[in-house]
Amino acid sequence: MREKPQSADLLHWYDRHARNLPWRVPPGAEVDPDPYRVWLSEVMLQQTTVAAVKSYFERFTTLWPTVSNLADAEDQAVMGEWAGLGYYARARNLLKCARVVRDAHGGRFPDQREDLLKLPGIGPYTASAIAAIAFDRAETVVDGNVERVMARLYDIHTPLPAAKPELTEKAAGLTPDLRPGDYAQAVMDLGATICTPRNPACGICPWSAACIARVNRTAAELPKKTPKKPKPIRHGIAYVARREDGAWLLEQRPDKGLLGGMLGWPGSDWTEADPLPAPPIEADWHDPNAEVRHTFTHFHLRLTLRLATLPMTAAPERGTFLSQTEFRPANLPTVMRKAFDLARDPLTKD
């Protein structure tokens, strides 16, 4: 009978190999983690890599050192700082959550999973992560890393997402009462650095002796996943206009849906058929003969550009002018910044 993986073995590995991350309190440190920083980092890390998150985390915590500071911020300031990180509903829910914590919880995060779960933008994974890491509660975190580690330890071939309940059960069975916060981070670090999606480093894995997939040589093909649907191609038109004083014509996108609440160029809907032109103002729109290509979660976009220089008297039906000093391209979501990059040269040379 193969021995059950021991949490103590993993904690021992973590004590020596824990990654140094801006939001992490290293194992053995005498300070308690700040729930605000744990929450902020975990929300940023949803579907997003450590490398992409680092600079955003540093900027957010510098601008807003506490959850109440963040709750007091302007919506557009937060959305602008989130630009480029993706999944913008996270930023809208981040603000909602900060304001609930400020107004209903006296500026302190709840310390129980069940209460965390009620907050906007906090689901099963994030609630467990905050409870375990910030409050050292024996909750089980199940993210993509943990799913992969469990699928391999127990050689589970059921494809995701159907396998999720079984993988969660296996993970819960391993969660210790001793140092659950460090343990949660240790399993995820193991998945991120040793038990990787391709070419897992089984030779140096602290749990290799207990791993069934290692014996069966199936580790590299686990976890199985149900095949995904192909992405259709959608087309659209974006209108990039600059007034003679250098101000840019932009609009805030509606709060729901794609890029919700973000700044963008006025334009047509994005459809699989040819898009209907929808200029925000009558003007001499010209064709820069370049197209923005961008891929979203569920479709490819080919965005045609139209450029114009507008007189000071222009009164567009859509959008508002942002002066050169108000407008920061870094506050645009990536597809809109790509459009700006193509439009800036033709529109900024006198």
Partner DNA sequence: AAGCCGGGGTT
Partner DNA sequence: AACCCAGGCTT
Query: Would you give the DSSP letter of residue 239?
Result: E
Question: For residue 144, what are the CA distances in angstroms to 160, 161, 162, 233, 248?
Answer: 10, 11, 14, 28, 41
The set of residues, in sequence order, having a beta carbon less than 8 Å from that of 2 and lying 6+ positions away, is: 210, 212
Which helix or strand (DSSP H or E) is residue 248 part of? strand 248-252
Query: Would you give the DSSP letter of residue 286?
Result: B
One-letter amino acid identity for 130? I
CA angle 191, 193, 197 (to 5 degrees): 55
Q: Report the DSSP beta bridge partners of residue 300.
A: 233, 295
329 in contact with DNA (CB under 7 A): no
8 Å CB contact between 308 and 283: yes
168 in contact with DNA (CB under 7 A): no
Nearest approach in angstroms of CB 225 to DNA is 6
298 in contact with DNA (CB under 7 A): yes
Query: Is 42 noted as a catalytic residue in this protein?
Result: yes
Q: Which of 24, 99, 157, 294 binds DNA (CB under 7 A)?
A: 294
8 Å CB contact between 114 and 139: no
Show the tokens assigned to 347: 């529109």
**For residues 285 and 296, which CB has a smaller minimum distance to DNA in the complex?**
296
Q: Which of 229, 273, 287, 313 binds DNA (CB under 7 A)?
A: 229
- What residues from 252 to 291 belong to the interface with DNA (CB under 7 A)? 257-260
**For residues 129 and 283, which CB has a smaller minimum distance to DNA in the complex?**
129
Stretch that binds DNA, among 150-158, 171-179, 225-233, 239-247 (CB under 7 A): 225-233
Nearest approach in angstroms of CB 282 to DNA is 30
Size of the site for DNA (CB under 7 A): 47
- Angle, helices 180-193 vs 7-17, to 10°: value is 70
26 in contact with DNA (CB under 7 A): no
184 in contact with DNA (CB under 7 A): no
Give the x/- contact pattern for DNA in 187-206, rule: CB under 7 A: ----x-----xx--------
Give the x/- contact pattern for DNA in 66-85, rule: CB under 7 A: -----------------xxx
The set of residues, in sequence order, having a beta carbon less than 8 Å from that of 268 and lying 6+ positions away, is: 236, 237, 275, 276, 277, 278
Show the tokens assigned to 229: 């649907």
Catalytic residue among 42, 81, 139, 147: 42
Q: What span, in angstroms and rounded, lies between the C-alpha atoms of 125 and 42? A: 9
The set of residues, in sequence order, having a beta carbon less than 8 Å from that of 117 and lying 6+ positions away, is: 123, 124, 127
Give the x/- contact pattern for DNA in 140-159, rule: CB under 7 A: ---xxx-xx-----------
Nearest approach in angstroms of CB 267 to DNA is 15
**For residues 191 and 279, which CB has a smaller minimum distance to DNA in the complex?**
191
**For residues 6 and 218, which CB has a smaller minimum distance to DNA in the complex?**
218
Which residues contribute to the site for DNA (CB under 7 A)? 46-49, 51-52, 83-89, 93, 120-127, 143-145, 147-148, 191, 197-198, 225, 228-230, 257-260, 293-298, 333-335
* Residues identified as active-site: 42
